[in-house]
Structure 1
Amino acid sequence: MNEQNPSTDRAAAPAPASPAPPGAGSGHEPDPRRWKALWVCLVAGFMTLLDVSIVNVALPSIQKGLGATPSDLQWVVSGYALTFGLTLVPSGRIGDALGRRTVFVVGVVLFGVSSLACGLAPSSALLVVARLVQGAAGGILNPQVSGLIQQMFRGPERGRAFGLLGATIGISTAVGPVVGGLILNGLGEQTGWRWIFFVNLPVAVAAVVLAMRWLPAPPERDRSRRIDVDPVGVVLLGLGVLGILLPIVESGRGGSTVPWWVAVVGAGFLVVFLVWERTYTRRGRTPVVDLALFTVPGYSSGAAVGTIYFGGFTGIFFVLTIFFQEELGYSPLLAGLAVTPFAAGSAVSSALGGRLVDRFERALVTAGLAVVLVGLIAVDVVLTTEHGPSVGWWLAGPLLVAGIGSGFVISPNVTLTVAGVPVERAGTAGGLLQTGQRIGTAAGIALIGSVLYSGLAAGRGLDPAAALRVAAILVAVALAASVVDLRNRRRRSRNPS
């Protein structure tokens, strides 16, 4: 990408002098298995991201089947997100050091075993524990996907690969309620919720077998050299992320039992973490997070855009699936189908965005955010003017528009954000990006959810229009951040020195 090459050369070792990453071959000899390897990664990533939303439609069935309390149900959902977010950065760092295929396979195996434990859980307490492990496994697996894309692909091909990753993220987020509804409808509410977890098992087995065949082998390393995992940095980062996420995810369904000052303590741990990492680096050691990542042009701004956007865009599904079921009487399956126009639009434009990002760069993301905002404004108009069961049909067009815009945001933004990151730090960079997305998602749903339910206390019922206005505001803030980044990139392009 023309704008970034001068900046990239200043931020890291010049690309021509860098050795080709393992499994990728030289710039003229790409790994012939790279597209097969990509599909293995995408299917495994889809499995972990689907489990973020698929469980929501099964919560009433879980409550009946296990006698779960509201607190138990909250932890079935939020516990997964919490441990997912906690393990992203350390596992990205370990993947960079040990080899991404090794850590990927470990994550898939652990995800499959914990999925089996979820499906067999005889009590809500054991289900919560299994979900915590399952979330940690998802956090182990996912940074390897973005790291492997960085490792195996170059130039325009990398944009197309990230485009497919973006389509995977968008589709998995949107179709979770549909898949969950289909399973419950087909197998019954009494035992159907268990198969929501069992369906992961054949996927996990196939992913492990194919990963060992097609993913690039770990690089040879000197066995006499000890791997520096920076344990103090890992603990400080974990405490910081835990402190910030815990009160947020606890507030998602009607009030938090964790005081909000815990988030302030978490932020304090993150400050200490930054000081420690800087000191650790000065000692000549390898930190869990190389702070030089944030000096790579476009990385910090791209991460900010992604964090803010995920806070707004994931709230759309949270609001509409609840509104369709609780206010309009839709079945879980019908509620999931009603939001599929967003998924369909996102799937198409994500693949297209991967091909266009090399040409239009940050302007493509900025335009996509503007289109999402237009779609959300149209959703607001429909919700304030139309009432009754036909609302789902009226929302199809606006949701399709918003989905098309979203496809031009997620994968192109990731492509641009990590474009200047050296391949040897790709796993850590991807883990940091996804940690920001998890924090943004949790905070956005907590904020949007509180607005959605605010009308209940006043006897007005759910207020989806007001809640989605909050989502639109978050998208508008992400749009403003993208405009600033676009201006900065153009300024660097005009003045490369």
Structure 2
Amino acid sequence: MADRQRATEGDGDADAPDPRRWRALAVCLVAGFMTLLDVSIVNVALPSIKTGLHTPESDLQWVVSGYALAFGLFLIPAGRLGDARGRRAVFIAGLSLFTLASAACGMAQSSLWLVVARLVQGVAGGMVSPQISALIQQMFKGRERGRAFGAFGTVVGISTAVGPLLGALLIEPAGPTEGWRWVFYVNLPIGVVCVVLARILLPDTPSATRVRMRELDPLGVLLLGAGVLCLLLPFVEAQQWKGGEKYLLVLLAAAILALFVAWEARCTSRGTHPVVELSLFRIRSFWMGSSLILLYFAGFTSIFFVSTLYLQSGLRYSALLAGLAITPFALGSGFSAGIGGRLVGRFGRPLVALGLAMVAFGLGGTALAVHQVGGRGVGWAMAAPLLFAGLGSGLVIAPNQTLTLSEVPVRTAGSAGGTLQTGQRVGSSIGIAAVGSVFFAQVAADGWRTAYDHGLIVSVAFVGAALIVALVDVFTGRAARTD
């Protein structure tokens, strides 16, 4: 009875706010930081994994993109499950599975073992993340909700940016062969503490009921996963799978994804729960923000993938030096993220467009610096343009999160948050596959520096596409208001 009363108090529709909401938010943010950190922290461990497990290049890409893909595929059904069955229960189950999968990753004895464990870890991360967005919608109202989403957006940006440095600090003491295992083992104590605190502090979902498997749209999940997998496969396996016929999978991917959209529309018309609520895309702010963030994360996360490989394998930087070389991006992102969260209500989408322009300019400057400066001085040459790009990134992620979810009803908060973050994770997978394919092809042909130049150009192209979406949103929005 007491739990039900507290749950009702925590619901976003109740008049009285939950007095524990900020402590509950802190638990959510720590768990979110941990699951999102594993998108990027593993990048700096890739050379160590390659040495320790004799991992081929394609498996290195799957270690990163496989996690992001599994994470993204389970965000939406997990969001729906949390809305229907209880957000606290799904949050705790996902966090427990994530902790166990982290232990399995750390104990891996082969690259196949590691890739499979990373897929399970991604599924678990996908269970946790949409509950955070939904719990924010549930626990906070008005200005407080904007502040809470700003804090979550900051965590999203900083966790991805700071991953390489934290990974390096964990790897360095244990050595280049076995140090990578501690990138995963560090999750164990944090996960246990968060599970305990979540049981105490998180509110339940008053509207929770039993949910049947078909209500989670397993066929929709299968179609989406198959479509994205067919899209990624020819790029990830480009060096192992010779010949142009592999790109026929891109056409197959388009057909499967079209079938996915048709199936989702059919589910909606029959009154069942689709994996993607297509009605959300009638909300202009939502579909614009979702498209923008997919493209941005394709460029954003792939930067760290190729940068750490170039610095460690190409220039023989230690893991720590490679992490430090990328730290300016994290510092810039952390500094401007809080500013972006405060300014988004005043400036809206133009603020996001400014941030994207800064990121594109900074990455272009990074490519130029690497091209002009040879040898081990590259790390110093990258610092200023990466700092500038990081300052721009802080104006993108948190403000876009707030704008995209601003008009979403609370009853679909979990599904909307899952859909938004699915765009981020699918974008990460696509970006790593595309940039990695270009990078490894150029390494074999022209060496590490040229490969890095070409990889950054592809990253900038993704960011530029996100900027175009933002500018279209700005100008069409003004035209609509004028009419």
Q: Does 1:234 align with 2:212?
A: no
Match of 1:281 among 263, 268, 271: 268
- What pairs with 1:71-82 in structure 2 (closer than 5 Å)? 72-82=59-69
Residue 90 of structure 1 is matched in structure 2 by 77
**Aligned-partner Cα distance in 2 for 1:250–1:93:** 33
Residue 483 of structure 1 is matched in structure 2 by 471
Q: Which runs of 5+ in 1 are unaligned?
A: 1-19
**Aligned-partner Cα distance in 1 for 2:100–2:48:** 22
Match of 1:157 among 144, 148, 157: 144
Secondary structure of 1:176's counterpart equals helix
Contact 2:75–2:422, Cα closer than 8 Å, also in 1: yes
Residue 470 of structure 1 is matched in structure 2 by 458
Which moves more between the two structures, 195-204 or 48-57?
48-57
Match of 2:342 among 341, 355, 366: 355
Task: Give, in angstroms, the shift of residue 419 of structure 1.
Answer: 1.1
Contact 2:351–2:396, Cα closer than 8 Å, also in 1: yes
Name the CA shift for 1:160/1:250 in 2 (closer, same or farther; >3 Å): farther
Residue 18 of structure 2 is matched in structure 1 by 31
Residue 15 of structure 1 is matched in structure 2 by none
Residue 127 of structure 2 is matched in structure 1 by 140
1:73-106 Cα shifts (integer Å, max 9, x gaps) = 4443333233222212211221121122111111
Residue 199 of structure 1 is matched in structure 2 by 186
- What pairs with 1:77-476 in structure 2 (closer than 5 Å)? 77-221=64-208, 228-251=215-238, 254-255=239-240, 259-463=246-450, 464-476=452-464
**Aligned-partner Cα distance in 1 for 2:12–2:421:** 27
Q: Does 1:62 align with 2:35?
A: no
Name the CA shift for 1:170/1:37 in 2 (closer, same or farther; >3 Å): same
Contact 1:112–1:200, Cα closer than 8 Å, also in 2: yes
**Aligned-partner Cα distance in 2 for 1:455–1:314:** 20
1:4-50 Cα shifts (integer Å, max 9, x gaps) = xxxxxxxxxxxxxxxx9872455753222222122211111111122
Residue 40 of structure 2 is matched in structure 1 by 53
Name the CA shift for 1:54/1:385 in 2 (closer, same or farther; >3 Å): same
Name the CA shift for 1:61/1:152 in 2 (closer, same or farther; >3 Å): same
What amino acid maps onto 1:292 in structure 2?
S
**Aligned-partner Cα distance in 2 for 1:61–1:296:** 45
Task: Give, in angstroms, the shift of residue 386 of structure 1.
Answer: 2.1
Name the CA shift for 1:221/1:481 in 2 (closer, same or farther; >3 Å): closer
Secondary structure of 1:189's counterpart equals coil
Task: Give, in angstroms, the shift of residue 248 of structure 1.
Answer: 4.3
Q: Alignment RMSD, CA only?
A: 2.6
Task: Give, in angstroms, the shift of residue 379 of structure 1.
Answer: 2.0
1:406-429 Cα shifts (integer Å, max 9, x gaps) = 000011111111111111112111
Contact 2:65–2:428, Cα closer than 8 Å, also in 1: no
Contact 1:453–1:462, Cα closer than 8 Å, also in 2: no
Contact 2:13–2:138, Cα closer than 8 Å, also in 1: no
Q: How many residues align?
A: 474
Name the CA shift for 1:306/1:272 in 2 (closer, same or farther; >3 Å): same
**Aligned-partner Cα distance in 1 for 2:241–2:98:** 28
Contact 2:224–2:257, Cα closer than 8 Å, also in 1: yes
**Aligned-partner Cα distance in 1 for 2:100–2:466:** 38
**Aligned-partner Cα distance in 2 for 1:378–1:440:** 23
Contact 2:65–2:433, Cα closer than 8 Å, also in 1: no
Secondary structure of 1:29's counterpart equals coil
Name the CA shift for 1:220/1:384 in 2 (closer, same or farther; >3 Å): closer
**Aligned-partner Cα distance in 1 for 2:283–2:75:** 20
1:328-348 Cα shifts (integer Å, max 9, x gaps) = 321111011111111011012
Contact 1:248–1:442, Cα closer than 8 Å, also in 2: no
What amino acid maps onto 1:372 in structure 2?
V
1:239-290 Cα shifts (integer Å, max 9, x gaps) = 3333334444445xx4558933334323322222222222222223333322
What amino acid maps onto 1:238 in structure 2?
G
Which moves more between the two structures, 28-37 or 232-241?
232-241
1:293-331 Cα shifts (integer Å, max 9, x gaps) = 000121111111111111112222223222222333211
**Aligned-partner Cα distance in 2 for 1:167–1:246:** 32
**Aligned-partner Cα distance in 1 for 2:14–2:355:** 31
Secondary structure of 2:274's counterpart equals coil
TM-score by length of 2: 0.90
**Aligned-partner Cα distance in 2 for 1:428–1:224:** 15
Which moves more between the two structures, 483-492 or 456-465?
456-465
1:134-186 Cα shifts (integer Å, max 9, x gaps) = 11111111121222222222333233222222222222222222222222221
Q: Which runs of 5+ in 2 are unaligned?
A: 1-6
Name the CA shift for 1:60/1:323 in 2 (closer, same or farther; >3 Å): closer
What amino acid maps onto 2:375 in structure 1?
G
Residue 6 of structure 1 is matched in structure 2 by none
Residue 4 of structure 2 is matched in structure 1 by none
Name the CA shift for 1:193/1:298 in 2 (closer, same or farther; >3 Å): same
**Aligned-partner Cα distance in 2 for 1:376–1:225:** 47
What amino acid maps onto 1:261 in structure 2?
L
Contact 1:160–1:351, Cα closer than 8 Å, also in 2: no
Secondary structure of 2:443's counterpart equals helix
Residue 3 of structure 2 is matched in structure 1 by none
**Aligned-partner Cα distance in 1 for 2:123–2:302:** 23
TM-score by length of 1: 0.88
Which moves more between the two structures, 240-249 or 380-389?
240-249
Contact 1:22–1:151, Cα closer than 8 Å, also in 2: no
